[in-house]
């Protein structure tokens, strides 16, 4: 199987699959509420990753070669916009993709940045001028730091759903 373009962090809690399936069988409304609560729990980690990539220092010139203002934070903002949270059958997933980032190395760029490796990119999209920049751990490390908080929020959402199912039986 080909590796996905981007990165993935999966958060799981005990009983996740059972409670989620019971909620689906019991009430579509409860299942939607549970999915919403699970995505909100995942946003804890996603928000930290978004904040972290926006803090990545830019290096080099802050103005284009002819004195025009630079396009601010395009790469950082695009990466932050592509961090997503989903709730599926097997857990809450936080993903990062290279959607909207072009170039022949765009697919591996996120991993290089997250691993702190050096990467090259055209200056303001001009392929005649290239700059090297150091990566910035923005995804796996910061999300790992929030893993316990995310797991606790997922577990709480599952407890609420299980309680709602038990109360209606």
Instruction: Render pLDDT for 32-87 as a digit per residue (tens, 0 to 9).
Output: 999 999 999 999 999 999 999 999 887 644 444 444 444 446 888 999 999 999 98
**What's the distance, Cα to Cα, between the start and end of the chain in Å?**
43
Handedness of CA 38, 44, 45, 49 (dihedral sign): positive
Rounded CA gap, 114 and 38, in Å? Answer: 25
The per-residue pLDDT for 39 is 94
Pairwise pLDDT comparison (29 vs 124), residue with the higher score: 29
- Separation CA 100–CA 98 (nearest Å): 6
CA distances from 10 to 94, 121, 135 (A): 6, 30, 23
**Per-residue pLDDT at 88:** 83
Predicted confidence at residue 136, as pLDDT, reads 87
Rounded distance, CA 24 to CA 116, Å? 42
Concatenated DSSP letters of 57-91: PP-S-SB-TTSPBP-TTHHHHHHHHTEEEEE-SS-
Percent of the chain at pLDDT > 70 equals 82
Nearest-angstrom CA–CA distance, 166 and 169: 5
Angle at 51 between CA 46 and CA 101, to 5 degrees: 80
Between CA 138 and CA 144, with CA 141 as vertex, the angle to 5 degrees is: 125
pLDDT at 43 (0 to 100) = 95
Give the model's pLDDT for residue 53: 92
């Amino acid at each position: 199987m080909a590796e996905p373009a981007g990165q993935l962090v999966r958060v799981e809690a005990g009983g996740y699959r059972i409670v989620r399936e019971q909620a689906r069988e019991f009430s579509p409304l409860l299942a939607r509420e549970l999915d919403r609560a699970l995505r909100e729990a995942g946003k804890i980690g996603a928000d930290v990753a978004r904040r972290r990539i926006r803090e990545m220092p830019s290096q080099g010139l802050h103005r284009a070669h002819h004195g025009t203002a630079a396009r601010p934070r395009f790469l950082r903002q695009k990466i932050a916009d592509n961090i997503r949270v989903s709730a599926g059958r097997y857990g809450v997933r936080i993903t990062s993709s290279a959607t909207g980032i072009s170039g022949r190395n765009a697919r591996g760029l996120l991993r290089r940045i997250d691993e702190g490796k050096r990467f090259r990119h055209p200056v303001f999209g001009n392929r005649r001028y290239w700059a090297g920049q150091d990566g910035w751990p923005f995804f796996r490390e910061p999300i790992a730091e929030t893993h316990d908080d995310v797991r606790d929020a997922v577990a709480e959402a599952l407890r609420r759903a299980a309680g709602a199912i038990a109360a209606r039986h």
